Every structure is written in C-alpha cells, then in structure tokens.
Structure 1
Amino acid sequence: MYGFAGQMVRINLKTKKIEKKSLSEDFAREWLGARGMVAKILYDEVPRDADPLGPQNKLIVAPGVLTGTFTGAGSKCGFGAISPATNGHADASVGGHLGPEIKFAGYDLIVFDDISEEPVYLFINDDEIELKSAKHLWGKGSIDCEKQLKEELGDDFEIATIGPAGENGVVFSCITHDFGRNAGRCGIGAVMGSKRIKAIAVKGTKSI
C-alpha cells in the first residue's frame, strides 16, 4: 500500500506486552488517514462512559498517510484519545520529524492500552520496541526531558514528551516535540500522563 508502512503496534502498559500486527489493507482504505483510523478504534474499543484518565481510555499515535512523503503537510503526527477536557473524541497533531520517523521505523499506528504501574517511556529503534523506565525523567519539564533523552540515546532519535502538567492531569496539557512544537488540543498530554508515559523516543531508517 503506497503511503503506509504496513504495521501497527499494540502496547499493554499494565502487562508490558508489545504486539506488532500487519495493517489491514481494508482497514487502511476504509478509514484512510490518521484521524479516521483513530476514530474507528476509539468508537469500537472505548466505552462511552469511560473515564478519560482511566485504564479504559486509549492513547493512539497515528502519523498520516502522507506523513514521511514530500507532500504538503507531510510531517504531521496525530494523537487520539477520549478527551479529559470534553469527555468526547480528541485529536491533536504536531509537526516536526516525529511522524515521519515513526513511519520510517515501520509503523502506521501505535495504540497504548491500560495504565503502567510506574513511569515509562517508549523506545523504538526500527524493529526494536521496548518500554523503559522513566523514573529519572518524571517531574522534569518537557524540554528538559527531551534534552536529557537525546543525551542518553543520541541526537538522531525523535522525542515527544510531557511535562508536569501532563503528569498531573491538567486538562489543557500538551504533548511536546522538537523543543517547542505541541500537540495542543483536548488535553491529550493529560491522557499520556495518566498512563504514566513520560516520553516516546523513535529512530527509523527504513523508507515508505
């Protein structure tokens, strides 16, 4: 499928199970793009009365079908969940290199389920995917956190983080990337914080 990397990742934060699945061509064609696929997953899997900051909510990371290509707006990365600000469907997006890097690592969707018992960050280096401890990062501002992870992992990793606002469930908190770009709608940072995900770090070397 042109424009798709061809895989999605499911991560259960409670059990630490990480599962890669092929992206169905029928699913991709019917729900084309990040927002469509996010909406379908939320509608099918999250109960209408779910607590947005509870374990039944999802956090979905979804680069668009054009992300990683040389088209206009080809840098966008979407985030989806049930919003703690509105209790309805939430989507937010950020530019920069995060979305393309996820596609270059081989993935079109990342779906986080449940809640981690302790702070973690998601580490992706092409086929290698791991949840790593973020205890040493918890409490840091988003820009300081990104700087520290780049020092630990290397400048060639693209990083998305939350700060203390997201950690503490502030309903207008953001997810920050590239030292100041923000996925700023719907309190998506609070959902990430409720799941105790401090950051997402990605390096991809493949092509679309």
Structure 2
Amino acid sequence: MKLHTEDPRITAYVLGELTPEDAAAVEAAAEEDPAVKAAIEETGAFGEMLSESLFAPKPQLRPAQRQAILLAAREPEKITNLVKIPDSRHQRKSWIVSLAAAALLLFAFVLFSRAPVFSPKLADRDVTRPARPTAPVTEAQPGIDGEWRTIPINIAMLPAPGPVDASQVSRTFAGSAAPASTISRLAAARDEAIARAGSKFYDEAADSLKDKPVPAE
C-alpha cells in the first residue's frame, strides 16, 4: 500500500485508532517508504510533547515562598519589600480623558473655522442693508423760470417696454394661477404707463430748452 506523508491514517496509527489490518498496512508502507516512516516518528514525538504539557504536575511553592506568604498574612506591618502593581483602571481612565479632550479641541477648531472672520475695518462701517423705499422717490429737474419739475424714479428703473408672452409669466392669485387674459391686460397697462410717462418727460424737457440759446463752439 502506498501512503502519502499527509495521510490521516498516519495520525490515527500513532494514536492507536486503526484496526489491526490497517495498522499492519501502515507499518508495511513505512518499511517501503522512508518518508512515511519519518512522518510517523515526527507525529509520535509531537504527541509525546503534548502529553507531557497536558499532564505535567502543577508548579508548587517552595517552602521559603510559602513561609513568606503566611508571614505577610499574619503580620502585614512587617512587610517592607512590597511591589506596587499598577492599576489598569487608572490608566484606562487617563486614556479616556485624553481622548475626550482631543475630540473637544477638534470640535472647537471645526466650529471656529466655519465662523465668519472678524475684520476691524468692517466693524467701523455700518453694514446694515438700507430698507427699500415704499413711497415713490422723486428727483428734481430745473426748469426755465426756476421751478422744479419732478419725474418718478421708479418709472425710470422699470424695464423698457416690449412684448410680453403671457404664457411665460408666472403669477398666482389666492393660491391659483392667474388667467392669461388678466396677465396680458396688466402687462399692456404697464407698457402704456411707461410709454406715457417717458413721452411726457421728454416733452417737458424739450419745452424747457427750446427758448435757451445754443452755446457757441
């Protein structure tokens, strides 16, 4: 019979778990193959080492050690060569405190890095945004006789007149979409008001300048 060195029957042979016929076959294979014989010897040596480790006698105290322990129990005040054993709980507590402090510093760094940077120049300025005027603001223009004419600035700030596509205008009234006819009518009224205000302004400007002499070049 031909055996491999990793065959489980070698271990079973060393432990005495094979039948007489199988044990005889393993012995015959060991006589024919030196590698199988070496594997049997190695497995047997390893088994002996395990047996010695498992069934070895327990270590015993020497008489001097036993006497020192009994003396320390009876008269603890006479002991002078004490060895302090470090408390692992204290070390663990110090480690937790250090970790918590590092986490707190990291949190503070992230918090302050996202805060706005203080600038002395900005501190001296009034950065309050001015409120938008609710009433029409007017600008004075001098006339011929020293009188002042006014034109609403909010009209000048409106966009130039132009065609309005009612389908592209998004308006809502009371939570519902406004009708297209209403949007078109409002857009037309806005365009007409802008055109009328601009025409009136230019007419008044022309009237105020028609009697003034043209400056010589």
Shared topology, TM-score over 0.5? no
Structure number with higher helix proportion: 2
Report 1 or 2 for greater relative contact order, CA contacts < 8 Å, sequence distance ≥ 6: 1
Structure (1 or 2) with the larger CA radius of gyration? 2
Structure number with higher strand proportion: 1
- Normalised by the size of structure 1, how large is the TM-score? 0.16
